[in-house]
Structure 1
Amino acid sequence: MDEDQGGVVANFYAKVGVAAIKVTSGSIKKGDLLHYKGHTTDFTAEVTSMEIERQPVEEAQAGDLVGVQVKERVRKKDKVYKVVERP
């Protein structure tokens, strides 16, 4: 499996476990597998819930700021990679 950088963490809201991700390229959809990587962050999780301005969405495009539910702590400037299968 390969990874494409798709975004960067802009903020993290610990009480609700949500990462605000600035999508930098491509798109992120519900069901995608994302790899969060930073100085002290390194985990992979499926996108199960995402919102733009508190409205549920199925997909976010480059340039969007999207809130994604995460199971672990992330930090500002952590990189977000989309895990993709290549033939």
Structure 2
Amino acid sequence: MPEKHDLHSEFPEFKEQIHQLKQHNNHFAVLFSRYHEIDHEIHRIEQGAEVCSDDYLEQQKVQRLHLKDDLFSMLKAAETTV
């Protein structure tokens, strides 16, 4: 069974920063929402609930990875300001 890659599972040590940034940083909230949408779509595709080309799936995975990197950078920066 494909595993989900939600940010709370990926970065449990940043639970508080995720919550704070979602509440107080609009850019983070938008990226977080987009990451969640893409992760959910990938999960549905991998479960067979949706059909797409392999290229599209790989493109979505790359986009999810880039968003994850951006979000992680923002989380690290928020950690140093707390």
Q: Same fold (TM over 0.5)?
A: no
Structure with the largest fraction of strand: 1
Structure with the largest fraction of helix: 2
TM score, norm. by length of structure 1: 0.23
TM score, norm. by length of structure 2: 0.24
* Structure of greater Rg: 2
